[in-house]
């Protein structure tokens, strides 16, 4: 179902008005070059102080909250690994009831963070339930493509061919042998008002997607790609570059699904080969040229499918109008 979503209320972030204030303070215990914490910081900058954060178990929870310290300057809640969407449902519902009963002045925004494991695997049921029930919150999946907190085990978001500690390459194995689960499209299939993919290498794009996600009434889902130098065996200094290369090689396309309409927000005109992206990390080093070729082909197919979705869901007048480009 396509439907109109009102995004007029959202305040755009530009290079000139990026908020100075940070809500995850420095001194947290993330590894050098961790793109998850980088992305989370950007999300919080865009969200601002009137926000309650719920955090699933995983790297981001552990590195920001060893008692008696906390890197959070907004109210923050961690319960367990698989249930952050349910926890956020409760927070959001309570706020709604308390506001109605005059016990809460203004309903704060609610953001739920989870890793790819906490989202695409064990937390999928709670997420699906919360999206289907229509709670007004933003769910952010920080996708570093494996269970990093427990030591780099595969998840259903680990890409084909990648080496992890539970998808080791060997005589009878290529490493991860399934294709990455398409979580953003699974979320979009719930017909929620707003879904987007984002990358900390495109920080304004990311922050504006957060703003849009917070603007819509009802659930919104953000899938953020994030390099983990520890798990990917990559140079911490190259994390942002890797995030950018994933987009430029079409491995991780950036798009929005607004009211069911797909919009590619970072068109890749001159794609880089996947090898350029693979080169900077060791988790793909064992791949044979054949495997790389297979991956290259499949990446292109997936991107073409996304373009087809964009075309198929574009507003009617745009499709019927002849192109003005020569």
Partner 1 sequence: MGKRVGLEVSLAVAEAVKLANVDVVSAYPITPQTHIVEELSIYVANGELDAEFIPVESEHSAMSAALGAATAGARVYTATASQGLALMHEILFIVSGMRMPLVMTVANRALSAPISIWNDHGDIMAERDIGWVQIFAENGQEALDLTLCAFKIAEDKRVLLPMIVNIDGFTLSHVIEPVIIPDHAEVDAFLPPYTPVLRLDTENPVTFGPVGVPEMYTEARKQLEQAIIGSKPVVEEVLDGFGAAFDRHYKLVEQNGKPGAKTRFVTMGSLGETCMTAVDELVAEGQDAGQTRIRLWRPFPEEEFLAACAGAERLVVIDRALSPGAVCGPVASELKSLFYGRPDAPEIVNLVAGLGGRDVTVREFKEMFAMAVSGKLSGNYTMWGVESHAS
Ligand X SMILES: Cc1ncc(C[n+]2csc(CCOP(=O)(O)OP(=O)(O)O)c2C)c(N)n1
Among 36, 61, 82, 205, binds ligand SF4 (CB under 6 A): 36
User: Measured between alpha carbons, how far is 153 from 213 in angstroms, rounded to an integer?
Assistant: 30
Site for ligand SF4 in 218-237 (CB under 6 A): 228-231
Instruction: Name which position in 55, 83, 144, 155 contacts ligand SF4 (CB under 6 A).
Output: 144
Token output for 294: 């297979």
Q: Regarding beta strands 194-198 and 220-225, do their DSSP bridges make them parallel or antiparallel, or are they unpaired? A: parallel
Look at the block and give the residue holding tokens 């319960």.
Answer: 79
User: Looking at beta carbons only, is 114 or 243 nearer to partner 1?
Assistant: 114
Contact between residue 198 and residue 209 where contact means Cβ atoms under 8 Å apart: yes
Helix 203-215 and helix 35-47: axis angle, to 10°? Answer: 50
Tokens linked to 127: 């997420």
**218: alpha, beta or left, given left = phi > 0 and alpha = psi -120 to 50?**
left
Q: Is 148 in the site for ligand SF4 (CB under 6 A)?
A: yes
Question: Of 14-53, which residues contact partner 1 (CB under 8 A)?
Answer: 49-52
Q: Which two tokens stand for residue 138?
A: 């933003």
Closest-CA residue to 198 (of 208, 185, 186, 189): 208
169 binds ligand X (CB under 6 A): no
Smallest gap from Cβ 84 to ligand SF4, in A, equals 16
Select from 63, 88, 198, 207 the one that contacts ligand SF4 (CB under 6 A): 63
SS in 3 state form for 258-290?
ECCEEEECCCCCCCCCHHHHHHCECCCCCCCHH
Identify which of 159, 141, 204, 148 has the alpha carbon closest to the alpha carbon of residue 30. 148
Q: Min. distance of Cβ 155 from ligand SF4 in angstroms?
A: 12
Least Å from the CB of residue 235 to ligand SF4: 12
Residue nearest to ligand X (CB): 115
Cα distance between residue 251 and residue 247, in whole Å: 6
Check binding of 30 to ligand SF4 (CB under 6 A).
Answer: yes
| Interaction residues for ligand X, span 54-93 (CB under 6 A) | 57-60, 81-82
Q: Which does 31 bind (CB under 5 to 8 A by kind): partner 1, ligand X, ligand SF4, none?
A: ligand SF4
Give the number of residues in contact with partner 1, rule: CB under 8 A: 49
Which part of the chain contacts partner 1 (CB under 8 A), choosing from 92-100, 170-178, 232-240, 307-315? 92-100
Instruction: Show the binding pattern over residues 54-73: x = contacts partner 1 (CB under 8 A), - = does not.
Output: x------xx--xxxx-x-xx
Q: Which is nearer to partner 1, 87 or 251 (CB)?
A: 87
List binders of ligand X among 33-52 (CB under 6 A). 36
DSSP state of 78: E
What CA–CA distance (Å, rounded) separates 268 from 124? Answer: 30
Q: Which stretch binds ligand X (CB under 6 A): 20-28, 128-136, 139-147, 243-251?
A: 139-147
Q: How far is CA 39 from the centre of its chain?
A: 9
Give the span between the Cα atoms of 268 and 199, in whole angstroms: 14
Q: Which lies closer to ligand X via its Cβ, residue 81 or residue 284? A: 81
- Interface with partner 1 (CB under 8 A), residue from 25, 32, 125, 288: 125
Task: Provide the 3-class DSSP secondary structure of residue 277.
Answer: helix
- Chain residues binding ligand X by CB under 6 A are 36, 57-60, 81-82, 114-118, 142, 144, 147-150, 155
Write out the residues near ligand SF4 by the rule CB under 6 A: 30-31, 34, 36, 59, 63, 144, 148, 228-231
């Amino acid at each position: 179902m396509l439907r109109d979503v009102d995004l007029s209320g959202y305040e755009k972030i530009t290079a000139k008005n990026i908020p100075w204030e940070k809500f995850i303070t420095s001194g947290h215990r993330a590894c050098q070059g961790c793109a998850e914490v980088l992305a989370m910081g950007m999300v919080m900058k865009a969200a601002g102080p009137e926000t309650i954060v719920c955090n699933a178990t995983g790297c981001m929870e552990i590195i920001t909250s060893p008692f008696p310290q906390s890197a959070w300057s907004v109210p923050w809640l961690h319960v367990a690994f698989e249930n952050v969407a349910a926890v956020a449902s409760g927070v959001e519902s309570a706020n709604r009831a308390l506001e109605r009963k005059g016990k809460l002045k203004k309903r704060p925004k609610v953001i739920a963070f989870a890793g790819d494991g906490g989202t695409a695997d064990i937390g999928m049921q709670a997420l699906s339930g919360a999206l289907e029930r229509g709670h007004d919150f933003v769910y952010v999946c920080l996708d570093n493509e494996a269970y990093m907190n427990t030591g780099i085990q595969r998840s259903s978001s680990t890409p084909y061919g990648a080496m992890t500690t539970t998808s080791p390459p060997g005589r009878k194995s290529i490493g991860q042998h399934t294709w990455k689960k398409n979580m953003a499209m699974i979320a979009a299939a719930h017909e929620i008002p707003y879904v987007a993919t984002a990358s900390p290498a495109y920080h304004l794009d990311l922050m504006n997607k957060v703003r849009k996600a917070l603007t819509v009434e009802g659930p919104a889902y953000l899938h953020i790609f994030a390099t983990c130098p520890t798990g990917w065996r990559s140079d911490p200094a190259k994390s942002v570059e890797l995030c950018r290369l994933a987009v430029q090689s079409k491995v991780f396309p950036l798009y929005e699904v607004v009211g069911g309409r797909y919009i590619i927000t970072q068109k890749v005109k001159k794609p880089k080969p996947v090898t350029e992206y693979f080169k900077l990390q060791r988790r793909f080093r064992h791949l044979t040229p054949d495997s790389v070729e297979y991956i290259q082909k499949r990446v292109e197919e997936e991107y073409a499918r996304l373009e087809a979705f964009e075309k198929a869901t574009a507003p009617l007048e745009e499709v019927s109008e002849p192109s003005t480009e020569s």
